Amino acid sequence: MAATPSKKTAASTTKTSSGSPANPLAAKPGSTGIDPRGPRFGAVITFVLLGIDVILGLTGPSVEAGTSWAVRVTDPAFILLLVITLIFAWGTFAGIQRHPYGVLFRTLIRPRLSAPTELEDPVPPTFAQLIGFVVTSVGVVLALLGVPYGLVVAAAFAFVAAFLNGVFGYCLGCQIYVLLVRAGILGRTRA
């Protein structure tokens, strides 16, 4: 008797009454989806790197006012944030399917896991990469301008988002994408 309600619950979580997917991040029928564990794997790597960057930023010259441009661009925190920004750019412009962490996940990790229960639409995680790119780019620019703590604050914001995705599976950028689609700002095609 207990098996019947769980079957009904499983069916109700996959479709709404209109027949559309209940999960707004799920891949659309007939489209190629991605394993949702891939972006989460990448988020773990990203939050570790961003955590290191925040620590380097707090202990390096990026928090001091009046440092020279040469000191700022050779600061390990600046170099690491620049590399992270370039990785976000790669995911943004080449797509999440071609992201270096996604390739690493597909070749080394996914073959050792069971198949995912649901595939995810690649557009929201790619949009999340764009948000990460913008946030870390702001940190790079603030560091170049010599704004004390600018690099650290930007890296900390990106760290929080990557941590939420990597540890809890909550992708802030994906949720922002869904809200923008629901508001009619993104995702509409013109006839």
Render the burial of 132-159: b for 16+ CB within 10 Å, e for the rest: bbebbbbbbebbeebbbbbbbbbbbbbb
Nearest to 48 by CA among 135, 129, 163: 163
Domain extent, residue 173, equals 35-182
130 touches 173 (CB < 8 A): yes
36 touches 23 (CB < 8 A): no
Q: Does residue 2 form part of some domain? A: no
Q: Does residue 6 form part of some domain? A: no
Determine the Cα–Cα distance for residues 143 and 40; give it in Å rounded to an integer: 28
Q: Does residue 14 form part of some domain? A: no
Q: Does residue 103 form part of some domain? A: yes
Q: Report how many domains make up the chain.
A: 1
153 touches 139 (CB < 8 A): yes
Determine the Cα–Cα distance for residues 71 and 87; give it in Å rounded to an integer: 23
**pLDDT per position in the chain (191 positions), as tens?**
444 343 333 333 344 444 555 676 676 666 688 999 999 999 999 999 999 999 999 998 878 878 888 898 999 999 999 999 999 999 999 988 899 998 999 999 999 999 998 899 999 999 999 999 999 999 999 999 999 899 999 999 999 999 999 999 999 999 999 999 999 888 755 44
